[in-house]
Amino acid sequence: MRKFFKFIICSILLVLTSCGAYFNQPFNASKARIGENTSRKSILDTILPLNETIVGVYKFRDQTGQYKLVENGSTFSTAVTQGGTSILLKSLEESKWFKPIERENIGNLLNERQIIRSTRQEYAKDANEDQTTSIPPLLFAGIILEGGVVSYDSNIITGGSGARYFGVGGSTEYRQDRITIYLRAVSTSSGRILKNVYVSKTILSQGISANLFRYVDIKRLLEVETGVTKNEPAQLAVKEAIDKAVEVLIVEGIIDGLWVPKGGEETIKLVKEKYLIEKEELESTALLDRKLEDRRGKFGLSISGGTALIDGDYSNPKEGIAINSSIKIFLKNPNLSLNLGMGYFRLENEQVFKEGFVSLDTNFEYNLLPYDSFSPFIYAGLGVAIPNPRDIKLYTKFQYGLGLEYLPVNNIGIKIFGEQNLMFNDKLDLLVNGKRNDYFWRFGVGLNIYIGKPYKSVKAKFFE
């Protein structure tokens, strides 16, 4: 019975962890539906043009020549949709700033107009009537739009995690691709490129799985497996990137005076302000959509508490209290700071040694990701441990450690850390034995409070 209950509990847990897969499995064929819309918000949601501009699009296609990746074998299926022109025409129509005209299949249009003209001539001849055979002229475009999909980068970041314990396990995997497009507006009267914009979009793929492998009896083996994989449609990613490119083309054109919105100068000022805010955010966003931000001031105050554990000449060490406070001064660099600290800690061995110490420490700390909410850090420096402040006795030491800091809001950080303190002599526990000097560990959690403005603004690097 006990094994049966374990089986039931494990099965329930597996179902619950993958409930999204169970509740959304496509058991039946679905009907055709109207195409999905992207959920992206636009600067131009409430701004309309004074006059719509007639534009022509001859070709906006895949310029990468890249084929889909497959694990085994080969494929001639392209990684990027070949219908970029159709997507761009739809985006232009939805923007309400342009009147697109047919140019991709202009030969078909001209042939059909010739058929109309010939049919009218034959009808007028048979009826012996003087009827006109002319048809209205084609609209011409003052601007043509060119460009295309210039790159499709596969697996720019991949990763995952998993765990297994006594035959029960689960794992997650993810992968990101990146698509890049260019769009330019060209004047048909002069051939001058009026505006050229560049937009990129990531494509996410995720997989979650859980499984159970267990002998429920001597001759009976139970295997349970479930999972779900989610791939962002490449076509929707291309559509969103083209929508964004059209938006940027319009916004930069408004700022440069190529297009005129309703509302005059006030609307132009509003569009410019929103666009500058978006560009500032772009400058502080790294390649992998990591938001980089100046989160810490020039100075900081830190308090922490935890435990200390000696490793000396006696056996059976016990955990003792450890508290510390420090001042953090950044050295004109968001990565590097000087820490001046003072604290108290107690070291103890069972029924042999017990002593409290005051410590004075000087450390140089290096913050690996100074612009992120989560950031690992390492530090090292020199210090002294004073067993009794009334006695002039100092134990010099070298300490180094590492930790992780999380900032829920700017200028407030929560940290966890571990530190090893290496003594320069073997007298810390009042017993000299062997060739190795004494040392001790400190582990704890703390709070960092930063003061002042950062030294400089963030500029995202290409590979962060």
With 60 as the cut, is the pLDDT of residue 200 above it? yes
**Host H or E run for residue 107:** helix 106-126
According to the model, what pLDDT value does residue 44 have? 78
According to the model, what pLDDT value does residue 160 have? 87
Name the nearest CA neighbour of 342 among 386, 311, 288, 400: 386
According to the model, what pLDDT value does residue 287 have? 58
With 70 as the cut, is the pLDDT of residue 109 above it? yes
Give residue 220's region: left, alpha or beta (phi > 0; psi -120 to 50). beta
Torsion, Cα of 233, 237, 242, 247 (10° steps) = 130
With 90 as the cut, is the pLDDT of residue 421 above it? yes
Confidence band, pLDDT 50/70/90 cuts, at residue 235: confident
Q: What would the pLDDT profile of 270-309 be if each residue is shown by its tens digit?
A: 888 888 888 877 776 665 566 677 788 888 999 999 999 9
Indicate if the alpha-carbon torsion angle 41, 45, 50, 52 is positive or negative.
positive
Whether the CB-CB separation of 79 and 64 falls below 8 Å is answered with: yes
| For the chain, percent of residues with pLDDT exceeding 70 | 84
Whether the CB-CB separation of 341 and 325 falls below 8 Å is answered with: yes
With 80 as the cut, is the pLDDT of residue 13 above it? no
According to the model, what pLDDT value does residue 197 have? 92
The structure tokens listed for 189 are 């009267």
With 90 as the cut, is the pLDDT of residue 404 above it? yes
According to the model, what pLDDT value does residue 453 have? 72
**Mean pLDDT estimate for the chain:** 83
According to the model, what pLDDT value does residue 361 have? 95
Phi/psi at 8 (5° precision): -65, -45
With 70 as the cut, is the pLDDT of residue 37 above it? no
With 60 as the cut, is the pLDDT of residue 190 above it? yes
Tokens 């059209």, residue?
246
| Coil vs helix vs strand at 265 | helix
DSSP 226: E
| Coil vs helix vs strand at 94 | helix
- Average pLDDT for 395-424: 93
Name the nearest CA neighbour of 271 among 283, 281, 261: 261
The structure tokens listed for 337 are 């700071």
| For the chain, percent of residues with pLDDT exceeding 90 | 30
With 70 as the cut, is the pLDDT of residue 177 above it? yes
Whether the CB-CB separation of 246 and 183 falls below 8 Å is answered with: yes
- Average pLDDT for 361-366: 95
According to the model, what pLDDT value does residue 62 have? 86
| Coil vs helix vs strand at 413 | strand
Domains of the chain, start order = 10-19+42-103+141-283 (3.40.50.10610), 299-451 (2.40.160.20)
Q: What would the pLDDT profile of 127-138 be if each residue is shown by its tens digit?
A: 655 555 678 888
- Average pLDDT for 375-399: 86
With 70 as the cut, is the pLDDT of residue 4 above it? no
Distances, alpha carbon 251 to alpha carbons 89, 117, 302, in Å? 18, 42, 46
Least confident of 75-84, 106-115, 129-138, 326-335: 129-138
Least confident of 27-31, 34-38, 118-122: 34-38
